[in-house]
Amino acid sequence: MSRPGKFAKSSRIKQLRQFNRRKQQQGGNTIPWEQVPDFLLGRYHLTQGAQVTPLVDATMQRFFSEWLTTAQAAGPQQVQWSLTALTPPTLKRIGNQVPWQFYAVLATQFVQWQHFFRKEGPAVPITPRRQIIDPLAAPAITQMIAQQLAVNLLTVMATPITNQQLMQLVASFLSNQQIKWSAVATLFGPLGFAVTAPEGSPAYRWLNDLQALTVSDFED
C-alpha cells in the first residue's frame, strides 16, 4: 500500500495550480499518464478536503491512490475504469495493512467519493479520456467492505478460508444492510494492530490516529 505522505498535499496542489495556469495560457493541454494520480488526488483534496476532517481526507486519499494504482495497471489504452471491477482488488491489496477503522471511514465516504470520481474522472485532461463505469449502489459497497473485513480477519487468524466460513462471518458483520462496527471491533480488537511505520512519520501518525477512532465514531 502506498505510504501516507507519498503524495504530499502541498505538492499536489502546487502542481495542479501550475497545470491550470499553463492550460489557461496555452489551451488544450494534456497531462502525462503518470501524472494522473497526482492530478486527481489534488482535485479531490481541493474540492472535498474542506468538507471532512483531516483524518478522513487523508484516509480517502490513501484509498484513492490505491484505487488509481489498480486502474492504471491495465495501461493507458484501457479507457473504461469499472468501479465494480476495480474496487475489490484494491481492497484486497490494502488488506490488513490498515486497522479496521480504515474500512469504517471508507464505508461512510465511498458514496461521496464515487460521486466525485464519476464527475472528475472523465474530465482529466489525458488522451484518450477515461470513462468511469459500473457505479456501486450503497448495499453493494457495504457487502464488499464487509467481505474484505472477513477475509482480513480470517487471514490474521491463519484460518483456512472456506466459502461457508466467509459467508457466516460476513453475515455476522451485517444488520439491515449496514455494517455493525461493534461486531467488527469485538473480533479485531483482541488481535491488535501493529504500526510498523517509522515513529514520527506521516504513516505512523495517520495509522495511530485511525486506531484512536472508536465504535461510537461510526455508530449512533
**Which among 197, 189, 190 has a CA at the least distance from the CA of 213?**
189
Q: How does the average pLDDT of the chain come out, rounded?
A: 89
CA–CA dist 120, 196 (Å, integer): 34
Average pLDDT over residues 81-92: 98
CB within 8 A of 189, min separation 6: which ones?
Answer: none
| Amino acid 8: pLDDT | 46
- Kindly provide the b/e burial profile for residues 4-27, where b requires at least 16 CB atoms within 10 angstroms of the residue's own CB: bbebebeebbebbeebeeeeeeee
Comparison of pLDDT for 22 and 219, the residue scoring more: 219
| Tens of pLDDT, residues 153-193 | 999 887 777 889 899 999 999 999 899 999 999 999 999 99
| Amino acid 39: pLDDT | 96
Cell of 59: 484516509
Run of H or E including 45: helix 36-48
**Residue 57 pLDDT level (bands cut at 50, 70, 90):** very high
Cell of 81: 475504469
User: Are β-strands 178-179 and 174-175 bridged in parallel, bridged antiparallel, or unpaired?
Assistant: antiparallel
Beta bridge partners of 132: 81
| Tens of pLDDT, residues 1-56 | 544 444 445 555 555 655 555 544 334 589 999 999 999 999 999 998 889 999 99
* DSSP helix/strand/coil, 157: coil
Share of the chain above pLDDT 70, in %: 87
| Amino acid 160: pLDDT | 77
| Amino acid 219: pLDDT | 86
* DSSP helix/strand/coil, 82: strand
User: Are β-strands 80-82 and 131-133 bridged in parallel, bridged antiparallel, or unpaired?
Assistant: parallel
